[in-house]
Structure 1
Amino acid sequence: MSFKIAIIGAGSVGFTKKLFTDILCVPEFKDIEFALTDVSEHNLGMIKAILDRIVEANGLPTRVTATTDRRKAIEGARYIISCVRVGGLEAYADDIRIPLKYGIDQCVGDTICAGGILYGQRNIPVILDFCKDIREVADTNAKFLNYANPMAMNTWAAIEYGKVDTVGLCHGVQHGAEQIAAVLGAKSPRELDYVCSGINHQTWFIDLRLNGRKIDKDELVAAFEAHPVYSQQEKLRIDVLKRFGVYSTESNGHLSEYLPWYRKRPDEITRWIDMSDWIHGETGGYLRYSTETRNWFETEYPQFLEAASKPIDVSKRSNEHASHILEALETNRVYRGHFNVKNDGVITNLPRDAIIESPGFVDRFGINMAAGITLPEACAATCMASINVQRMSVHAAISGDIDLLKLAVLHDPLVGAVSTPEEVWQMVDEMVVAQAQWLPQYAHAVPAAKERLSKSTVKTREWAGAARRNVRSIEELRAEKAALKQAV
């Protein structure tokens, strides 16, 4: 087989390498072309050198090209994969910093909440540019695979306004299933069968079977509470499991910022989170992790390049969906996964226009969703709160309507639990002004926003959050890794 895959945002070096090696685990895919594109020539150079080393070490005919000309990369591509973060860590820092001034403490801030909504405003105009290129120069039947957050908003914009065949992909379901299998004592996650459905980052394990035996709420609660690690790291998720009756896919820290109940006061935040790792609820945890990872990679790049000289180990192919979807579409080897698509009645008690994440099967005929799923009422209600925010956010990003943007932020569950309307209005003005270079659709609104900020009487505070940690230096990271290696 010979076809072309374009990866936009290929400068996400570690993730691009994973996608690349996963895809090359499919025997029929050795003779394909990968076209890498990114706004950073520096990052492109690093990832191309790594992928070239992998190709050389494995004696493959695979072709790798790299260009900052996105349209050239997309030209003729059958599959286009997006891993972009518009604004990079600079804009992301404002997604965390500015809401903290108004009392909004986020762990990740890339899905909804104040940070996730503004992240969507930056991404959606760029996503629509991708779609324009795909329509005009990609293969006639090209498929767009979006890995970029905010997943639902990006996918919604690409399908509804970009008019491109799009699927959103995430690994939250797989990670949640691995946890459940572990607490139930399974030898392998493959022993667990499940139906998991909802919206991205708020999917719910509504049916669980371990070796064919149905697992009920009481057994699952007992298993999590007895686990020596997860009982401490996932306190909030376990509480939601007790109250809702089903387990959420999303991490303790992520889930906490989609709900109005657990992060509204500093004392509540520290009660429900765990500081053993960023993902369990640390203030700005993913921003710290991402900054440390970037710094580490830049410093230790020669080691990453050297590691690329090793043969590809097919047994280590990851559970990221992309390679499995491509394999199913091209070879007709059926793949079952969980995909982000337009609902259109797949989940009976969520709106038809919403982007849902639910089970489907892939073969030569495409992605075929399992329809007729009904969520438990509490799960549907929680999803609905986010869907309403997502819909307004997408419409605001398309129209450049700053008043609609403010209404979207006002209706966010956590923002509404913490902030007054006056605070929300000022916070959005401040974020739009700070991120104006990445928000072309709001250029007309920036002067008035600056004027309002100059006259505002709404008080803010400089607050690091309830559970903030400093970014560790390279030396600290080296010492920590050495200590872990010695302990093993």
Structure 2
Amino acid sequence: MSFKVTFIGAGSIGFTRGLLRDLLTVPEFGGIEVAFHDINARNLEMVTELCQRDIEANGLSIRIQATTDRRAALEGARYIFCTIRVGGLEAFSTDVNIPLRYGVDQCVGDTLCAGGIMYGQRGIPEMLNICRDIREMAEPNALLLNYANPMAMMTWACNQYGGVNTVGLCHGVQHGHRQIADAFGLKQEEVDIICAGINHQTWYVQIRHQGEDLTGKLLEAFESHPVFSRTEKVRIDMLRRFGYYSTESNGHLSEYVPWYRKRPDEIQEWIDMGSWINGETGGYLRVCTEGRSWFETDFPNWMNDPALEYKPEKRGHEHGTYIIEGLETGRVYRGHFNVVNNGIIANLPDDAVIEAPGYVDRNDIAMPTVGDLPLGCAAVCNVSISVQRLAVEAAVRGDDRLLRQAFMMDPLVGAVCNPKEIWQMVDEMLVAQEAWLPQYKEAIVSAKERLATGPLVPTRNYEGAARLRVKTVEEMRADRQAANKNAGESDKGEDREKVATPAD
């Protein structure tokens, strides 16, 4: 088979190397074209060198086309993986640190809440530029496989305004599926699930084993589990009160709803510090910072480590390469995909991007009708969808009033802040991220003036209820295997149940 796959944001070592391995594990794909693009030439060079070494070690003759020219990378592409993070870690740090001054304590801040909304403001305009280049340079009807967060907002914008067929992909459903099987003492393949909702708020509405529906027994199984009862307190409480388990991690879920992180003295009751993903303040920012520092420092040693093996048993569980395999070979694949709703989930809006079961074969991606979500689950999703819709429209129009309304409607921001605080927080974030927000040029001028002339709402220097220090390279060197895993994995919460040692 001969077709071209392009990676946009290829300097993301975790996603790029793993996805390439998974793609080239498919026997029929040994002669495809591969292009890498990134705006960071040094990161692009390192990742390309490492991936090219992997390719050659597996006996393939593919030569990666690596370029900082995005249009050249997209020329003739049939499939595009997108893993961009506009503003990088510099902008991401403001997503976490400025809201803390107002008492908004996020674990991740890349999907909803203050950080996720601003992440979308930076990412959506660039995603629309990518869509323009895809329309003009790629194969007709090319498929954009988006891994970039905020997943729902980015995928929504591409489908509504980008003119490119875009599917959003995430590994949250697979994680929860494994947990559910573990809670019952079963293997994952022995448990069948139906999961539906929106990205990071998808609900396991049916859990079956040998014909028996286990959904009603799940709460007891989690409450009595020796690990999950400690690490998944928010998810268990949501299960207790809504009747269904949610896909996303304890830390992520805690920042999407208004109940678990609004009072600093209560946050510790709902989180576990064994792994960042269980609720650590700014945890994802910390591990991403550590991972980037380690890869840049230790890269020469990576070239001396064994190459990745392109074998079926080594293949990962990200949906993207299985979708391409299904479309090209006709092998049927069942996964969970983020697409425009259009009636798939009856009691969520048609224009929203939902996450639901889908099937892939040579004919296309087929999304069966799910019907209604349970009312409580739908209510949780609909609150987030309102925030997403406001944020998408704000980013596309450069309308800071819509942006402020998105902040006000956000569950955790609204639980912690009053309107004056929200208005000022948005001003601060607009000014801090000016370099990545060209659509807000006029609004930023006004925000600077307000911040300079006052009067200002008092803020505080607050590190959050559960923050750990970023490890130095020397500290990471003490456990190179763990540091390599953090830097090299797309899913930095893979080992969330393992006990970690705090940095201080």
What TM-score results when the alignment is normalised by the length of structure 2? 0.94
Q: Deviations over 1:268-320 (max 9, x none)?
A: 21110000010000000000010111111122213322335353232021110
Aligned to 1:174: 174
Q: Deviations over 1:45-99 (max 9, x none)?
A: 1111111111111111223110000010001000011000000000000000000
Partner SS state of residue 478, structure 2: helix
Residue type matched to 1:298 in 2?
A: E
In the TM superposition, residue 447 of structure 1 has moved relative to its aligned partner by 1.1
C-alpha contact 2:141 2:164 (8 A) present in aligned 1: no
Q: Deviations over 1:356-381 (max 9, x none)?
A: 00001111221110114211111100
Residue type matched to 2:84 in 1?
A: V
CA distance in 2, matches of 1:112, 1:417: 14
Higher mean Cα deviation, 70-79 or 311-320? 311-320
Counterpart pick for 2:302 among 295, 304, 317:
304
C-alpha contact 2:336 2:356 (8 A) present in aligned 1: yes
Aligned to 1:474: 473
Aligned to 2:100: 100
CA distance in 1, matches of 2:433, 2:40: 19
Distance 1:367 1:483, change over 3 A: closer
Residue type matched to 2:130 in 1?
A: F
Counterpart pick for 1:264 among 258, 262, 265:
262
CA distance in 2, matches of 1:481, 1:241: 37
CA distance in 2, matches of 1:216, 1:113: 29
Matches within 5 A, 1:385-424: 385-424=383-422
Aligned to 2:3: 3
Aligned to 1:248: 246
Matches within 5 A, 1:6-17: 6-17=6-17
CA distance in 1, matches of 2:48, 2:480: 27
C-alpha contact 1:95 1:109 (8 A) present in aligned 2: yes
Residue type matched to 2:421 in 1?
A: E
Partner SS state of residue 359, structure 2: strand
Partner SS state of residue 331, structure 2: coil
Partner SS state of residue 247, structure 1: coil
CA distance in 2, matches of 1:290, 1:205: 29
CA distance in 1, matches of 2:245, 2:35: 39
Aligned to 1:209: 208
Partner SS state of residue 39, structure 1: coil
CA distance in 2, matches of 1:372, 1:312: 36
Distance 1:462 1:353, change over 3 A: same
CA distance in 2, matches of 1:84, 1:308: 27
C-alpha contact 1:31 1:63 (8 A) present in aligned 2: no
CA distance in 2, matches of 1:138, 1:478: 42
Query: Percent same amino acid at aligned positions?
Result: 59
Partner SS state of residue 34, structure 1: strand
CA distance in 2, matches of 1:172, 1:307: 29
Partner SS state of residue 246, structure 1: coil
Residue type matched to 1:452 in 2?
A: R
C-alpha contact 2:80 2:142 (8 A) present in aligned 1: yes
CA distance in 2, matches of 1:124, 1:471: 29
Higher mean Cα deviation, 453-462 or 352-361? 453-462
In the TM superposition, residue 480 of structure 1 has moved relative to its aligned partner by 4.6
Aligned to 1:78: 78
1:281 aligns with 2:274: no
Aligned to 2:48: 48
Q: Deviations over 1:376-406 (max 9, x none)?
A: 1111000000000000000000100111100
What TM-score results when the alignment is normalised by the length of structure 1? 0.97
Q: Deviations over 1:156-191 (max 9, x none)?
A: 0000000101100000000110111111111x2111
CA distance in 1, matches of 2:482, 2:92: 31
Residue type matched to 2:232 in 1?
A: E
Partner SS state of residue 261, structure 2: coil
Matches within 5 A, 1:186-225: 186=186, 188-217=187-216, 219-225=217-223
Partner SS state of residue 60, structure 1: coil
Aligned to 1:370: 368
Higher mean Cα deviation, 115-124 or 361-370? 361-370
Higher mean Cα deviation, 417-426 or 50-59? 50-59
C-alpha contact 1:112 1:150 (8 A) present in aligned 2: yes
1:458 aligns with 2:457: yes
In the TM superposition, residue 193 of structure 1 has moved relative to its aligned partner by 0.3
Distance 1:436 1:308, change over 3 A: farther
Aligned to 1:431: 429
Aligned to 2:224: 226
Name the Cα RMSD after superposition.
1.5
Aligned to 1:333: 331
1:36 aligns with 2:32: no
Partner SS state of residue 248, structure 1: coil
C-alpha contact 2:2 2:31 (8 A) present in aligned 1: yes
CA distance in 2, matches of 1:290, 1:418: 26
CA distance in 1, matches of 2:258, 2:308: 47
C-alpha contact 2:2 2:29 (8 A) present in aligned 1: yes
Partner SS state of residue 462, structure 2: coil
Distance 1:310 1:248, change over 3 A: closer
Residue type matched to 1:387 in 2?
A: I
Distance 1:239 1:123, change over 3 A: same
Partner SS state of residue 464, structure 2: coil
CA distance in 1, matches of 2:189, 2:455: 57
Counterpart pick for 1:320 among 311, 318, 321:
318
Partner SS state of residue 197, structure 1: strand
Residue type matched to 2:476 in 1?
A: L
Distance 1:482 1:33, change over 3 A: closer
Residue type matched to 2:91 in 1?
A: A
Partner SS state of residue 249, structure 1: coil
In the TM superposition, residue 481 of structure 1 has moved relative to its aligned partner by 5.6
Aligned to 1:23: 23
Partner SS state of residue 63, structure 1: coil
